[in-house]
Chains A and B, each alone.
Chain A
Amino acid sequence: MAEITATGDRRRLIAMLSPAYLWLTVAVFLPLSAMLFFSVLTALPQDGPDWSLTLQNYRLFLTDPVYATLLWKSLQLGLTVTVICILIGYPCALVLARTIRGRARETLFLLVILPFWSNSLVRIFSWAIVLRGNGVLELGLNAVLPFDVSLNLMFTTHAVVIGLVHSYLPYVILTSYLALQAIDDDIIDAARSIGAGTLTILWRLLLPLSLPGLLAGAVLVFVPVVGSFMEPRILGGRMGTYYGTVIEDQFVAVYNWPLGAALSFILLAVVLLILTLTSPILRKARL
């Protein structure tokens, strides 16, 4: 790598970097900063000349318990989904990384993360077909079981959780797997050679050594789940009102953009707080 010396180099560097970063600035960083500005307006400037600065939107968040309650509900949803993803995904990563070898492992790993890269809306939609009353799951279970079951899972919190776990589970598996497979086989052999059994190795070596990866996965699940709105809308029905859906409403139904901006900005603050607090872990996981 070259230290910048000549002016020619500097010009080339700027020419190569600025298009990408200017684009990111215009499309991401300026909008995010602008959101703070719009969140303290009474009305949008483009709608007319009658606008002024106000803290009303933030005051509303503090005084009307609806918003704080919904934010809390979304955080709880995030926590639930994250915990389930860890409980299901970590053992799976463990099996993939430590017991399966060679080509089979590569293929299985690819199979696990492939849905993650496919269309999330369509995957949520597919759950709607499976979970709906009289849907495939119910019919299937009734065909197999001797007694009748009526699941009524659709439009419940359970449905939302199932859909979100399905959406984000591969994150936890991906990050845990990368951390687990980076552990030197000799370390495990060394532990066995001095008498450690499976559980000791898991508890004292594999888990602590892969913890950064696991926690990174947890953060990567938690953050988008807190900001989710499409999944609760489709699978939650009337039960699916969350902080994210309220923000959506401000922009597409109620058209109170300043309030939407304020709510979005509060969510952004929460997300940035979480990311900052966990950034040492994320850095350690080297993602």
Chain B
Amino acid sequence: MSRVDVTAVTKHFGTSKALDDVSITFDDGGFFALLGPSGSGKTTLLRTIAGFHFPDSGSIRIGEREVQRVPVEKRDIGMMFQNYALFPNMSVADNIGFGLRVRKVGAAEERRRVAEALELVQLGHLGQRRPSQLSGGQRQRVALARAIVTRPRVLLLDEPLSALDKTLRVDMQLELRRIQREVGITTIFVTHDQEEALTLSDRIGILKDGRIVQVGPPREVYERPVDAFAASFLGEANWLPPSRVAGLELPCRSGAGSFAVRPEALSVATVPAPGKNAIQGRMSQHVFAGAMATCLVDIDGSYWKVIARDRDIPQIAPGADVWLSWSAADTIAVPTPA
């Protein structure tokens, strides 16, 4: 278990810059999500930490060891792949034991630790199966067991849950978190699923165009995004048109140029709520979705989205005037204009 320090790492592929002066610290034992659109460099960063790429400049430390020139097989990491990448020619037990055999731990020790790892991922009875005989969720667990059985210093996960269907994915998220806590391993996790990142991690790093945009605990990043990109990428944001700013109580942050409100912070009514910020618009649509509902309200030609419990949204005919209200504290302020 170690902390990982990435310092001023730059990486080019041909002429394109995949990582641009990236510095980031992953705390010992933490669960860190790297989030960003495709092409943002999140996977490149993960694979550079793993050792599949060497950075053009900058340094990477795992624990006390400088590793930026160490090939992947010597870095003592564990990694899980999007499609699990189980060895199809080996049984589950041999898959998990592969890293131990490479390290020459001895047959008895290998058996013991494989059994232990299988227990940890609750697959104790499936050791002799082939990967092809397992379900998606089971393969997932085998891949995880294989990645941690060697007790690596850091666990790297490359969109490990994206191949699962929704229900299984939620189960596996909880399971992954439980196992990570139990083992206490530093974990870095790449995803494009913002909800997954918010649920699982202690800290989130948002990347864009090979640069780190913002790093922090999920709540902080969600509630206090540093710029318009972070605000729109992590969750949805309704941007306040400059013409409507007058008369509202807005946070004074230096250089703040744009303001936004999250859909779930808004309430809809025929009158403005007292003591809150409110703007008037025209009701456009009310979409029922079981417990929750979404409505779209036309504010000067752009649509604001409101997400609330269905019963909290009054039945208002489309085309009628409505008021959207929110607490001043829920206003997001970012420096650059959206």
Q: Which residues of A contact B (CB under 8 A)?
A: 184, 186-187, 189-197, 200, 204-205, 208-209
Q: Knowing A194-B98, A194-B99, A195-B73 touch, does A189 contact B52 (C-beta < 8 A)?
A: yes
Judging by beta carbons under 8 Å apart, are B89 and A190 in contact? no
The 7 closest A-B CB pairs, nearest first, are A194-B99, A193-B79, A186-B85, A190-B85, A208-B89, A195-B102, A186-B81
Q: Knowing A192-B72, A195-B150 touch, does A209 contact B89 (C-beta < 8 A)?
A: yes
Could you write out 6 A-B pairs with CB less than 8 Å apart? A186-B83, A193-B73, A194-B99, A195-B99, A195-B102, A196-B98
Q: In the complex, which residue of chain A has the Cβ closest to the Cβ of B88?
A: A209
Closest-CB distance, A265 to chain B (whole angstroms): 39
CA distance A195 to B100 in the complex (A): 9
Q: Knowing A193-B50, A193-B72 touch, does A184 contact B102 (C-beta < 8 A)?
A: no
Q: Knowing A189-B52, A191-B98 touch, does A197 contact B85 (C-beta < 8 A)?
A: no
Q: Kindly identify which residue among A191, A192, A193 contacts B87, using a CB–CB cutoff of 8 Å.
A: A191
Q: B42 on the interface (CB 8 Å rule)?
A: no
Closest-CB distance, B50 to chain A (whole angstroms): 6
Q: In the complex, which residue of chain A has the Cβ closest to the Cβ of B77?
A: A193
Judging by beta carbons under 8 Å apart, are B102 and A189 in contact? no
Number of interface residues of B (CB under 8 A): 29
Closest-CB distance, A128 to chain B (whole angstroms): 44
Given A191-B98, A208-B89, 16 additional A-B pairs, CB 8 A: A184-B85, A186-B82, A186-B83, A186-B85, A190-B79, A190-B81, A190-B85, A192-B52, A192-B71, A193-B72, A193-B77, A193-B147, A194-B79, A194-B152, A195-B73, A209-B88
Residues of B within 8 A of A194 (CB): 73, 78-79, 98-99, 102, 146-147, 150, 152
CA distance A13 to B90 in the complex (A): 44
Chain B 59-86 per-residue mask, 1 if CB under 8 angstroms from chain A, else 0: 0000000000001111011110111011
Q: B103 on the interface (CB 8 Å rule)?
A: yes
Q: Knowing A196-B98, A197-B73, A200-B102 touch, does A187 contact B87 (C-beta < 8 A)?
A: yes
Closest-CB distance, B124 to chain A (whole angstroms): 21
Judging by beta carbons under 8 Å apart, are B73 and A196 in contact? yes
Judging by beta carbons under 8 Å apart, are A192 and B85 in contact? no
Residues of B within 8 A of A186 (CB): 81-83, 85
Residues of B within 8 A of A196 (CB): 73, 98-99, 102
Q: In the complex, which residue of chain B has the Cβ closest to the Cβ of A184?
A: B85
CA distance A209 to B182 in the complex (A): 35
Closest-CB distance, A190 to chain B (whole angstroms): 4
Judging by beta carbons under 8 Å apart, are A184 and B150 in contact? no
Residues of A within 8 A of B88 (CB): 187, 209
CA distance A189 to B83 in the complex (A): 12
Instruction: Please report whether the interface of chain A is mostly helix, strand, loop or mixed according to DSSP.
Output: helix
CA distance A90 to B226 in the complex (A): 55
Which of B71, B85, B88 has the largest count of A CB atoms less than 10 A from its CB? B85
CA distance A177 to B52 in the complex (A): 24
Residues of A within 8 A of B90 (CB): 204
CA distance A189 to B72 in the complex (A): 9
Residues of A within 8 A of B156 (CB): 193
CA distance A186 to B85 in the complex (A): 6
Residues of A within 8 A of B89 (CB): 205, 208-209
CA distance A190 to B143 in the complex (A): 9
Q: In the complex, which residue of chain B has the Cβ closest to the Cβ of A190?
A: B85
- Enumerate B128-164 residues with CB–CB distance to A below 8 Å: 143, 146-147, 150, 152, 156
Residues of A within 8 A of B103 (CB): 195
Closest-CB distance, A100 to chain B (whole angstroms): 17
Q: Kindly identify which residue among B82, B85, B99 contacts A187, using a CB–CB cutoff of 8 Å.
A: B85
Closest-CB distance, A196 to chain B (whole angstroms): 5
Closest-CB distance, B164 to chain A (whole angstroms): 17
Closest-CB distance, B307 to chain A (whole angstroms): 37
Closest-CB distance, B196 to chain A (whole angstroms): 20
CA distance A196 to B71 in the complex (A): 11
Residues of B within 8 A of A189 (CB): 52, 72, 79, 81, 85
Residues of B within 8 A of A195 (CB): 73-74, 76, 99, 102-103, 150
Closest-CB distance, B215 to chain A (whole angstroms): 25
Q: In the complex, which residue of chain B has the Cβ closest to the Cβ of A196?
A: B102
Q: In the complex, which residue of chain B has the Cβ closest to the Cβ of A189?
A: B52
Q: In the complex, which residue of chain B has the Cβ closest to the Cβ of A200?
A: B102
CA distance A195 to B75 in the complex (A): 8
CA distance A242 to B77 in the complex (A): 58
Q: In the complex, which residue of chain B has the Cβ closest to the Cβ of A193?
A: B79
Q: Kindly identify which residue among A197, A204, A208 contacts B98, using a CB–CB cutoff of 8 Å.
A: A204
CA distance A205 to B99 in the complex (A): 13
CA distance A54 to B129 in the complex (A): 56
CA distance A57 to B79 in the complex (A): 66
Q: In the complex, which residue of chain A has the Cβ closest to the Cβ of B99?
A: A194
CA distance A190 to B99 in the complex (A): 10
Judging by beta carbons under 8 Å apart, are B83 and A184 in contact? yes
Q: Knowing A186-B81, A190-B79 touch, does A205 contact B87 (C-beta < 8 A)?
A: yes
CA distance A192 to B103 in the complex (A): 12
- Enumerate B101-124 residues with CB–CB distance to A below 8 Å: 102-103
Q: Knowing A187-B87, A205-B89, A209-B89 touch, does A192 contact B73 (C-beta < 8 A)?
A: yes
CA distance A195 to B147 in the complex (A): 11
CA distance A208 to B91 in the complex (A): 13
Residues of A within 8 A of B87 (CB): 187, 190-191, 204-205
Closest-CB distance, B105 to chain A (whole angstroms): 11
Q: In the complex, which residue of chain B has the Cβ closest to the Cβ of A208?
A: B89
Residues of A within 8 A of B99 (CB): 194-196
Judging by beta carbons under 8 Å apart, are A193 and B98 in contact? no
CA distance A191 to B85 in the complex (A): 9
CA distance A200 to B100 in the complex (A): 13
